[in-house]
Amino acid sequence: MEEKTKRKIEEIIREERSDADRKYPLFSSLHEGESVIREEIEEVSEVLDEIMETHNWIWKAVRANKSETVKSAAKTIAKLSRELIAESVQVAAVAGKIVDSIEREEEK
C-alpha cells in the first residue's frame, strides 16, 4: 500500500475518533472499552463473512462460466469491502480511545 494511502487512512481514523470523542467521553472502565471494541470487531467479522459467502458464489459462477453472475458478485464484494473499511476504521478509533482512557487513569 502506498504511503499516501496510509496517511489518508490515518486521517480518516483521526476524524472518526474526533467524531466519537464529541459524542462520548473516554471509557470509564476496561470493561466498557472491551464491550465497545467487541461490538465493532463483531461488525467487521459479519461483513467479512458476507464477503466470503459472496466469493463462494463467484467461485461457483466461474466454474459454471457465468460471467454476469461473477460480475454481479464482484460488485457486491466491492460494496461490502467499503463497509469493511468503514467498520475497521471504527475498530481502530475505539482501540485508540481505549489506550487514551487507560493513559488518563495512569496519570491520576
- CA 85 – CA 58 distance, rounded (Å): 21
70 burial (CB, 10 Å; 0-12 / 13-18 / 19+) is: middle
Q: The pTM is what?
A: 0.89
Per-residue pLDDT tens over the stretch 22-72 = 999 999 999 999 999 999 999 999 999 999 999 999 999 999 999 999 999
Cell of 17: 475518533
